[in-house]
Each structure stands twice: as structure tokens, then as C-alpha cells.
Structure 1
Amino acid sequence: MSSRTAFDRVTARHGWTQALVTVVGGLLAMSVVAALGLWAAGAADLPGGSFPQVVAATVVTAVGGSVRLSGDAGRLAGAEGGLTVMPLSVTLTGALVVGRGFLRPLRHRAVAGAPELIGWAARIAALWLLALLGPAFAARHTFEVSLGDGPLDNLGDLFGISPEVGFAADVPLTVLVGLLWLAGVLVLALLVSRGAPLPGRLLRFQTAVRPAARAMLWLLLASVVIGAVTALVVAATRGHPADTFAVILLGLPNVTWLALTIGLGATWDGRVEGPFGLPLPHVLDEVLRTEDVSALNLSTLAEHDGRVWWLLVADAVLLLAVAFVMAALSPARVRAWQHAVHLAVALTLTVLMICLVGRISARLGLSVLGIGDLGTGLSGQVLLAPRLAGALGLAFLWGLVTGFAGALPARGRWRGTGGPDR
């Protein structure tokens, strides 16, 4: 029995079951990580039994969905705001689980036809769409807002005002973006896997694409692991373990991948206002908590803590390491300048991905009778956005230099052996 025939029979009999396991496993893993992170952050104490709804909202935002903030107290009071942020720890967990489930039936095969791959992906996508409707509809809740003591409280009693602030997922947008997120995860899973089959017409591209894609995966995961170890050391030596675990379980890649781009020389624009904050080291909060939008880069951070220059060193070491491994896993016929170009393109696309998913925009404004903030201290905003052109240009240059430098010792390693086959 040919491998293709075996694959066809397996997917025909068990394709839907395996797709269901992949989808349920991905959403369940994301929900568990989100719940643990929110619990560590103290969200279990939110009023009105809203913890499950907040977990659902976190899962929605983790796949790129949108959550609207709103408020109402008749015609005399209102609230407006929005939230755009991806808890990348939850996102990364879901991507790894779904990607693994997608690749599992494809292992031990060299070639697969495009219809086979599309059919297998379509099963997962259909079930993913249905499953995503659950958290999308569940991610909605309304909280009563206290007016506090003083004149606003008296006005509330006089006019019978009971302000409410709530959130709700944008269901159509969440489903659409969630499907795009899934498509990206499945494509990336094929790119980074050494053993997953490709259609015959694409096999000639795997020498250039797959080693570089795997190198970027290792770069991203290595930065997360280093960040996790650093966070655990800080928690053990400086206390506040609950806050540390909340950051690890909700937004660790948000921090480490931001640091990765800053170490490359990129600049982000940001501002923190009001009681809100970012899950970032204190020095970043100091730079961003100003009256106007601030530039966040190595230079501005070094004014507060000179140790941030070690980010540049860490990036150089990591990139040289992944460049060496990428070249060592490539056929010996690939030249050093080709490795440099491959890594430059891959790193540029990786930084583009970080810039797109690492943006943060959170805003909430409350008012009663035209008086802002209601005396509650809840109004505020958080902004974080990259200067995209500069970040991509620097990434390309870093990729060229480290890709060439890392390929030189790898070529010596495989000289005379013919190099690895794949």
C-alpha cells in the first residue's frame, strides 16, 4: 500500500475525529493558560461571577479577535473605549498545539498533493469556526461602576444614575480574524516542519525556506525561554510571584519579543496614562508614562538603566547561533551569501509579525453629566506601536550580517561530508 493511499484511508476514516481533537485541544490549552494567568492576576475576584467571561475574552483576543468596551447610565452618563492587544502566551500555546495536531497525520511522508493538504486543513478550519463561536459569544459582561464618595455620588443618588461598564466581543470580526489566524498557523507549521510533506511543485523551495523558518521558530522560542528563566529568578529574589506568573502565562512573548526588536535597534512609540499599565519591566513603564507619546528604544531605555545594552549582545549571540544551525541543516551546496539572504528575509518577516501582533491600544473614558473620570480613577489609555520601516530595515541588515557570519563555521563543519541531506 502506497503512503498516499494510506494517508487517504486514514483521513477518510478518522480525519474528522483527528481534526476535532486538534481544535478542542488547541482551544482547551488556550483556555487553561488564560485562566491560570488571569487567576494569578487576581481576576478571579472580579464581581458578578465574570471570571469565565473574562477568560473567554482573553481567548478571543489571543486569536486576534476584537473586544469592545462600552458603558451606559441613561442619557446622563456614558463610557467609551476599546481594547486591542494579544496575550501572546495564550496565542503561542494555541499555535503550538494546533500546529502539532495538524502535522501529526502528515508525518513519515515525503510528498502530499495540494488537494490532500487543503482537505485536511479545511476539516480543521470548519470545526475551528464552530468552536470559536463559543468564546466569541461568551465574551461579554457588564459591571456596575461605583461613583465613589463626594459630589458625583450625590449626583448619582439625585438622578438615579447607576453607571455600567461592559465588554463584548465583535463576533463576526473575531470569526474572520480567527480563521486567518488558523490559516497562518497551519502554513507556518508546514514551513517549520522538517518531515511534513509538500506538494511536488513546492519541493524545490524547501531548501531555502524550511531551514530559515525553523531558525526563526527557534529564535522566538529561545527568547521566550530566556525571558521565563529571568522572570522566575526575579520572582524568587524580589518577590511578587503572582504578578510574575500572570505575566508569564499571559504576556511573556509580548515582553521578550518586544525586547528582541529593541535589541536590534527598533523604536516603538508608546504612552501609558492613568491606572493602566503594561506587563513590562519598571524601566519601560518609566519611559512611557509621560505627558506625550515617547520613543522606546535602546537609547531612551539606557537613560534609565544602562544594562539594557545587553539586549544588543543577547540578540547578536542568538542570531549567530540560529544562523549556524540553519546553515548546518542546509545542503552543503548552499553558499554563505545565500544563507545571509535567506536569514535576512526570514528575520524581516519575523520582525514584521512581531510588530503586527505586539501592538497595544487600550482606552477607557467615563463621564457623568460631562464630568470625566467619574472620580473612579478608571479612565486612561495605553498605546504601543512600532516604527515599522526602521524595524524592518534593521532586521534585514542584521539578518545579512549574522546569516553570513554564522554560515562560515557551518560550511567548515560540513566540508568534505557533503552536508546534511535536508
Structure 2
Amino acid sequence: MSARTPSGQAPSRRGWAQALVVASAGLIAMVAVAALGLWAAGAADLPDGAFARVVAATVVTSVGGVVQFSGEAGGLAGTTAELTVIPLSVTLAGALVTAAGFLRPLRHRAPAGPGELGAWAGRVAVLWLLGLLGLALAARQTFRISLGDSAVRDIADLFGVTPEVGFTTDVPSSLLLGLLWLAGVLALALLVSRAAPLPGRLERLREPARPAASAMVALLLAYVGLGLVVGLVVAGRGQPADTFAVLLLGLPNLAWLGLTLGLGATWDGRVEGPFALPVPPALDQVLRSSEVQALNVGTLAGHDGRWWWLVAVAVVLVAAAAFGAAVRAPAGTRLWRHAAHMAVALALTVLMICLTCRVSASYGLSVLGIGDLGGDLAGELFLRPRLWSALGLAVLWGAAAGLLGGLPARAVRRRGAGPRT
């Protein structure tokens, strides 16, 4: 938001300059995190200068963009490839930087009305989309597939088959989904911020929802913080490059998966082929099977009993989030209403995790109908939640935490803490 002239009109040139800083900072943060993560994963050695294009594709997918894979191996062969995963470390970095920049001009002053707030958000959105468009257009590359030592390689050499796989971006879909992502980030930033007053009616609508929303943001960040500590400890014990690649690309993917597992949720998954998963050994052992496996605390604890700690961590952090929300709730909020707010907020949080942490990946090659033989020629990886049971558990946990957290919060407020709005 730009400063006002004596006439009350915001100078649009300065407003666009501020919006450019906000949009650029968010995209630069995402590019930097993606580049560092891919460099740690060894992507800097990709041929034909593909590293920059892979970085661009990673940023596009981090905001929900669509990257399409295609294969070409001549008339006698076929290749397939698919990858659906959101690198949530990149997503989180961009969301935090963009939200902070968007809120900064609004601190401690209310816009004159929804129109002024909408104009500020619109400027940021236009410039951010232009940056995303550039990344989407750059995210395209083709690679040759190594066949290794196999019968399929001999057949491919006989017929002169050169298998290739490439990726490109569905630009319109990526821009639309990226715009929805940005709108969600800005709306959530306004919802949870105490330092950015809203005009009139919007402030009254935000007041009852902000405590639970802020508690969920704090809960998610707390899990990421714990995951970072665990990751740094693991990095000190060996394979630091792989560990840092996971931290810089998929830390929230694992940390927030741990939140749902601690709540009792079950995910279905399977790993087949040479996919190397830089994840805890028990997780890899459960998923690496020829059949779909149920992934939950029980199956993980069957390989390592320390996984039961996920339940204890969920109890402590969800209860702490509920207590913090109750302390900040408007005066006079009834206990049952606080429990309902927490139930809805935790269910929406788990829904977001279930939608963003699912993974699907596969690739394969066949020549004259011979292929997908395993080894280096084919592989499949997927992980998907049992959505409705996860949401049901989130509602129960949220309601229980709301009730239990609201009781001590009453005592704190009676001693003079009072609500913070």
C-alpha cells in the first residue's frame, strides 16, 4: 500500500513499485530455495543446461502449476512418465515472503475501504503472474533415457530406437492455479495478521475466525520447525547432501504428513522399482512392496517403536494451539463455540495437507511390447490419504482440544491476561 497524497489519492506509480518488490521477493525466494534444493540433489549435473529449466518447473509446481511429461522413442517403442508432487519447502518460502511483503504497508493502518485493499492486492497479483508466466514458459526440456544393461537396450540398439522423455508446462492452467494460490496466501495473511487492520465490516468478520486460523498457522510452522531440527541432526550423521535436498524441497511434506499420522490418519502407498526415497528407513520399508500398503503410526511402529512419539507430539502441539486460540478469542466466546472453531480449523488444515502432500510418480519403456520389466526400465511410487477418515479424526481432535484448551484459557484470562485481538 502506498503513501497518501493530501487529496487522499494513493500515488499509483509508487504503489506499482512497491507491488513489484513484493512480487519479485516472493518469486526470488522460491527460485533460491528450489535451486539450492535441486543443487543438493545433484540436478546441477543435468545435461544441456537443463538445471535452470528444472528449477523453473519446480517453482511452477510449488504453486499448483501443471507440468506435463511426454515420451518419444520412435514407432517401435513407447515411453511413459508421470510426476505429481508439490515441493512444499518452496511453497512455504514463497508464501511467507509474499505474505510479509503484502502486509508490510498495511501495518497499523486501515485502508480507506475494500477498493483500496483490492487495488493493492491486484497490483501484486498482476506483477506476480507476469513473473510466473516467465517461469512457466521457461519450464520445458527433453532428456534421453539411459537403458542400462538389459535386453530392451539390445532390442533398442537393433532398431535404432532413442528413447526420450521431456516436460513442458500447461501455461493457462498453471497461471490460473497460481493465481488461486496467491489469493489464498494473501487472504490467509490478512486473516491471521494482528498488525494489519481491515476496513469496517471486514474487520468484524475476521475477529471471530482469526484465533483458530492463527493457531493452525502456528501449528504447521511448529511441525516444520521440529522437522528442521530432526533433519539437521540426521544431516550430521551422514549423507548431508541428500538430507539438505529433502529439507529444501520437501520438509513440510514430511513434517505435515507426520501431523496427520499423529492424529491417527492412514495413507495408502507403494514404492516399486529403483526409486530411492530420502526418507526415514521405516517409511521406506513400509511402502516398498508389490502391493498397496497402509501407512500409519501402527505400521511404522512395527519397524521402529519410536514412531509412537508422533502421537505424543500431536497431543502437545494441538493442545497448545487450542490454548493459544482460546486466550486470543473475543471476550465472551463460549467454550462449545471455541471447540467448534477448532474442529473446523483443524479439519481444513488436514484437508490442505491431504491435498498437497499426496505423491504420484511413474515411468516406463517398452520396445516391441517388451518392457516395463522392472530394474531401470520402470518404476511406480504413490502416496495418497484416506481422506474422509482423516477429516473425521481431525474434527474429533479439534473439538477435544478446543474444550481442553479452553478451560485453562478461562483461568488465564480471569487473572488479567485478557484476549489479544
TM-score of Structure 1 vs Structure 2, range by shorter chain: over 0.9
Deviates more, 1:313-322 or 1:274-283: 274-283
Query: 2-side partners of 1:133 and 1:127: how far apart?
Result: 10
| Structure 2 unmatched ranges of 5 or more | none
When residues 154 and 270 of structure 1 are mapped into structure 2, their CA distance, relative to the original with a 3 A threshold, is: closer
Query: 1-side partners of 2:325 and 2:339: how far apart?
Result: 10
Matches within 5 A, 1:380-395: 380-395=379-394
1:50-86 deviations in Å (ceiling 9; x for gaps) = 1111111111110111212221122112212221110
Q: Which residue of 2 aligns with 1:325?
A: 324
Count of residue correspondences: 419
SS at match of 1:168: strand
Instruction: Using the TM superposition, give the Cα deviation of residue 410 of structure 1 relative to its aligned residue in structure 2, in angstroms.
Output: 1.6
SS at match of 1:198: coil
* Coordinate RMSD, CA, aligned: 2.0
Deviates more, 1:190-199 or 1:331-340: 331-340
Deviates more, 1:211-220 or 1:276-285: 276-285
Whether 1:171 aligns to 2:171 is yes
Q: Which residue of 2 aligns with 1:261?
A: 260
Matches within 5 A, 1:365-384: 365-373=364-372, 377-384=376-383
Query: 1-side partners of 2:221 and 2:11: how far apart?
Result: 31
Instruction: Using the TM superposition, give the Cα deviation of residue 11 of structure 1 relative to its aligned residue in structure 2, in angstroms.
Output: 5.6
Whether 1:244 aligns to 2:243 is yes
Instruction: Using the TM superposition, give the Cα deviation of residue 421 of structure 1 relative to its aligned residue in structure 2, in angstroms.
Output: 4.8
When residues 45 and 154 of structure 1 are mapped into structure 2, their CA distance, relative to the original with a 3 A threshold, is: same
Query: 2-side partners of 1:310 and 1:47: how far apart?
Result: 43
Instruction: Using the TM superposition, give the Cα deviation of residue 151 of structure 1 relative to its aligned residue in structure 2, in angstroms.
Output: 4.1
Deviates more, 1:387-396 or 1:368-377: 368-377
Q: Which residue of 2 aligns with 1:115?
A: 115
When residues 371 and 413 of structure 1 are mapped into structure 2, their CA distance, relative to the original with a 3 A threshold, is: same
Query: 1-side partners of 2:48 and 2:375: how far apart?
Result: 19
Instruction: Using the TM superposition, give the Cα deviation of residue 420 of structure 1 relative to its aligned residue in structure 2, in angstroms.
Output: 3.0
C-alpha contact (below 8 Å) 2:82/2:363 kept by paired residues: yes
SS at match of 2:419: coil
Instruction: Using the TM superposition, give the Cα deviation of residue 155 of structure 1 relative to its aligned residue in structure 2, in angstroms.
Output: 2.9
Paired residue type of 1:182:
L
Query: 2-side partners of 1:371 and 1:384: how far apart?
Result: 28
Q: Which residue of 2 aligns with 1:45?
A: 45
SS at match of 1:79: strand
Q: Which residue of 1 aligns with 2:271?
A: 272
Query: 1-side partners of 2:5 and 2:350: how far apart?
Result: 40
Matches within 5 A, 1:11-160: 12-110=12-110, 112-149=112-149, 151-160=151-160
1:194-249 deviations in Å (ceiling 9; x for gaps) = 1222232232233321111111111000000000001111221x211111111110
Query: 1-side partners of 2:250 and 2:234: how far apart?
Result: 16
Query: 1-side partners of 2:77 and 2:183: how far apart?
Result: 42
Q: Which residue of 2 aligns with 1:300?
A: 299
When residues 272 and 112 of structure 1 are mapped into structure 2, their CA distance, relative to the original with a 3 A threshold, is: farther
SS at match of 1:361: strand
Paired residue type of 1:37:
G
Query: 2-side partners of 1:375 and 1:160: how far apart?
Result: 22
Query: 2-side partners of 1:333 and 1:411: how far apart?
Result: 10
1:77-107 deviations in Å (ceiling 9; x for gaps) = 2212221110000000000111111111111
Instruction: Using the TM superposition, give the Cα deviation of residue 353 of structure 1 relative to its aligned residue in structure 2, in angstroms.
Output: 0.6
Paired residue type of 1:260:
L
SS at match of 2:93: helix
Query: 1-side partners of 2:148 and 2:323: how far apart?
Result: 60
Sequence identity percentage: 64
Instruction: Using the TM superposition, give the Cα deviation of residue 383 of structure 1 relative to its aligned residue in structure 2, in angstroms.
Output: 0.8
C-alpha contact (below 8 Å) 2:90/2:248 kept by paired residues: yes
Query: 2-side partners of 1:142 and 1:270: how far apart?
Result: 29
Deviates more, 1:275-284 or 1:303-312: 275-284
SS at match of 2:80: strand
Instruction: Using the TM superposition, give the Cα deviation of residue 153 of structure 1 relative to its aligned residue in structure 2, in angstroms.
Output: 3.5
Matches within 5 A, 1:291-370: 291-370=290-369
SS at match of 1:31: helix
Q: Which residue of 2 aligns with 1:205?
A: 205
Query: 2-side partners of 1:363 and 1:179: how far apart?
Result: 28
| Structure 1 unmatched ranges of 5 or more | none
Query: 1-side partners of 2:220 and 2:406: how far apart?
Result: 20
SS at match of 2:230: helix
When residues 252 and 378 of structure 1 are mapped into structure 2, their CA distance, relative to the original with a 3 A threshold, is: farther
SS at match of 1:269: strand
Instruction: Using the TM superposition, give the Cα deviation of residue 384 of structure 1 relative to its aligned residue in structure 2, in angstroms.
Output: 1.0
Paired residue type of 1:290:
S
Instruction: Using the TM superposition, give the Cα deviation of residue 332 of structure 1 relative to its aligned residue in structure 2, in angstroms.
Output: 3.3
Deviates more, 1:122-131 or 1:215-224: 122-131
C-alpha contact (below 8 Å) 2:335/2:406 kept by paired residues: yes
